[in-house]
Chain A
Amino acid sequence: MKADVVVIGGGVIGLSTAYYLAKSGVEKIIVAEKKYLGSGASGRCAGGIREQFSSKPSIRLAKKSLDMYERLSDELNFNILFRQGGYLFLAFDEESMEELERDVKLQNSLNVDSVLLEPEEVKEIVPELNIDGLLGGSFNMRDGIAFPFPVVWGFARKCRKMGVEIRDFSEVSDILVRDGTVRGVKLGNEIIGADFVVNAAGGWSSQVYHMAGLEPYNKPVKHEILATEPMKPFLEPMVIDLTAGLYFNQSMRGEIIGGIGIPESPSYQMGSSLEFLEAFASRVTKLMPKLKGVKVLRQWAGLYDMTPDSLPILGETEIEGFIQANGFSGHGFMLAPIVGKLIAKLIATGESDPLLEPFKYDRFKEMDVEPEHMVVG
């Protein structure tokens, strides 16, 4: 069997790439997913979508992605429960405040309409917040959230309608490379020839690099998250306490979804911890005392696919036809539409969009890279 493109990973990145490939006329596309669609970070994330980043390449990419999210329910003919309530960043220490001041200035220079806020202005946006000790914040009302699974299903449904073959519960075990060129993959017991193989395996992408004989820069790191019982809608924005590394929002179902960063060593371990529950509960109940009596229903974890500079790895490698769309370091869901579109363009036309240039695989060998600081959770 022979395909034009095999996409490894049935998450939001892989499915978005497959959809835009089909849309640009590529005929034989196979998406291989080892479990169910969205079973990795796509289905485990909080669904946040923002433009407020600290580096130019991230901001440019995120802005385009948000443009696409605004029209994605129509594009896919599937309601992704997208809502733009803004992202509210809070700084309780000098260093975080300086970060926000620097970032807003940079964001504004790239036509992102984020603003710096005094503590009283923060309180006007979310009156339930306890602003004791707050130095200030930043806010971008265009940022928002979507429900991750409908994004996965919406892309998958469109893909199938356009003839993409989606194989769930099917694991790629090897990538065939000859003379520096990708020839195909081993999927289950089957060898599938392919001109292009896309590594969209998220937390497992380093294993896929190894299959092709390339050294990965990616490391999987566990991040925990929880959901509470649903409440009447009261919270518009995603709230991020930059000092504590905590975030929370209210989903369209009314639950509070939130997390807090706990130092973890790289591993594939995704167990839930009481330490996380306690850390989140201690901070969130101080930040928003109204939540004290709200019950936690469940907690789970997912993997951030981390790179040395917390920026994704996108595009070609020294192995011809082996294309990267990974290393999103916690930001894959929010970047999926634009990344899928640009990776599809690269494969279909051979043209690498200038937006992709800063994210090349070989940047870690060649140049000094400016890391992305705005990694939360």
Chain B
Amino acid sequence: MVKSKKIVCRCEDVTEEDILHAIEEGFSDLESLKRYTGISTGPCQGKSCMLHVIRILSMATRKDVNEIGITTQRPPVNPVPLYILAGEKDES
């Protein structure tokens, strides 16, 4: 059976319904919405979900995407193991 649930953020398992609910609760700016729902805080750091979230937020609030803006992309670009940052060659 195909479920009607639309997953927007796969890392954190957040659905479109979750996002719309959060916007209704008043988390209607992108920064607050990100932190309330957890979208874009998983391993992909928003690379697969952020644009969808902006589209949903734009439709729900009738604000232009330019007005909504985008959250700060935090380093590193991809997840990096601590042993590499510590300058070690092999994981023990």
Interface residues of A (CB under 8 A from B): 35-39, 43, 149, 153, 168-169, 227-229, 253, 272, 274, 277-278, 280-282, 284-285, 289, 291-300
The residue that B43 contacts in the complex, of A35, A229, A282, with Cβ under 8 A, is A229
Task: Determine whether B85 belongs to the interface, using a CB cutoff of 8 Å to chain A.
Answer: yes
Residues of chain B in range 63-92 having any CB-CB distance to chain A below 8 Å: 72, 74-76, 79-88, 91-92
**The 7 nearest A-B residue pairs measured at CB:** A281-B85, A295-B79, A298-B74, A292-B83, A281-B86, A281-B82, A282-B86
Asked if A296 meets B92 with Cβ closer than 8 Å, knowing A43-B35, A168-B29, the reply is: no
Kindly list chain B residues whose C-beta atoms are within 8 Å of the C-beta of A169: 29
- Please, how many angstroms separate the alpha-carbon atoms of A228 and B38 in the complex? 14
Kindly list chain B residues whose C-beta atoms are within 8 Å of the C-beta of A296: 76, 79-82, 85
Q: Are B31 and A229 in contact (CB under 8 A)?
A: no
Chain A binding surface SS class: mixed
The residue that B92 contacts in the complex, of A284, A289, A294, with Cβ under 8 A, is A289
- Please, how many angstroms separate the alpha-carbon atoms of A153 and B88 in the complex? 41
Kindly list chain A residues whose C-beta atoms are within 8 Å of the C-beta of B48: none
Cβ contacts A to B, 29 pairs, < 8 Å: A36-B29, A36-B31, A43-B35, A149-B35, A153-B36, A168-B29, A169-B29, A229-B43, A253-B38, A274-B75, A277-B80, A281-B83, A281-B85, A282-B87, A285-B86, A289-B92, A292-B82, A292-B83, A292-B88, A292-B91, A293-B82, A294-B81, A295-B82, A296-B76, A298-B41, A298-B45, A298-B76, A299-B76, A300-B74
Asked if A37 meets B32 with Cβ closer than 8 Å, knowing A281-B82, A298-B74, the reply is: yes
Q: Are A229 and B86 in contact (CB under 8 A)?
A: no
Kindly list chain B residues whose C-beta atoms are within 8 Å of the C-beta of A168: 29
Asked if A285 meets B75 with Cβ closer than 8 Å, knowing A149-B35, A292-B92, the reply is: no
> Besides the contacts A285-B88, A295-B43, what 8 more A-B pairs have beta carbons closer than 8 Å?
A35-B31, A168-B29, A272-B74, A285-B82, A292-B83, A296-B76, A297-B79, A299-B74
Kindly list chain A residues whose C-beta atoms are within 8 Å of the C-beta of B43: 229, 295, 297
| Interface core residue of B72, B74, B82 (most chain A CB under 10 Å) | B82
Kindly list chain B residues whose C-beta atoms are within 8 Å of the C-beta of A295: 43, 79-82
Kindly list chain B residues whose C-beta atoms are within 8 Å of the C-beta of A37: 32
- Please, how many angstroms separate the alpha-carbon atoms of A295 and B79 in the complex? 5
The residue that B83 contacts in the complex, of A149, A274, A293, A299, with Cβ under 8 A, is A293
Asked if A291 meets B82 with Cβ closer than 8 Å, knowing A36-B31, A149-B35, A300-B74, the reply is: yes
Kindly list chain A residues whose C-beta atoms are within 8 Å of the C-beta of B92: 289, 292
Residues of chain B in range 7-42 having any CB-CB distance to chain A below 8 Å: 29, 31-32, 35-36, 38, 41-42
Kindly list chain B residues whose C-beta atoms are within 8 Å of the C-beta of A280: 85
- Look across to chain B and name the residue whose beta carbon is closest to the beta carbon of A298: B74
The residue that B32 contacts in the complex, of A36, A253, A293, with Cβ under 8 A, is A36
- Please, how many angstroms separate the alpha-carbon atoms of A284 and B86 in the complex? 9
- Look across to chain B and name the residue whose beta carbon is closest to the beta carbon of A227: B41
Kindly list chain B residues whose C-beta atoms are within 8 Å of the C-beta of A297: 41-43, 45, 79
Kindly list chain A residues whose C-beta atoms are within 8 Å of the C-beta of B45: 297-298
Q: Are B75 and A298 in contact (CB under 8 A)?
A: yes
Kindly list chain B residues whose C-beta atoms are within 8 Å of the C-beta of A277: 75-76, 80, 85
| Interface core residue of B31, B76, B79, B85 (most chain A CB under 10 Å) | B85
What is the distance, in angstroms, from A150's C-beta to the closest C-beta of chain B? Answer: 9
- Please, how many angstroms separate the alpha-carbon atoms of A291 and B45 in the complex? 21
Q: Are A278 and B91 in contact (CB under 8 A)?
A: no
Kindly list chain B residues whose C-beta atoms are within 8 Å of the C-beta of A298: 41, 45, 74-76
Q: Are B79 and A285 in contact (CB under 8 A)?
A: no
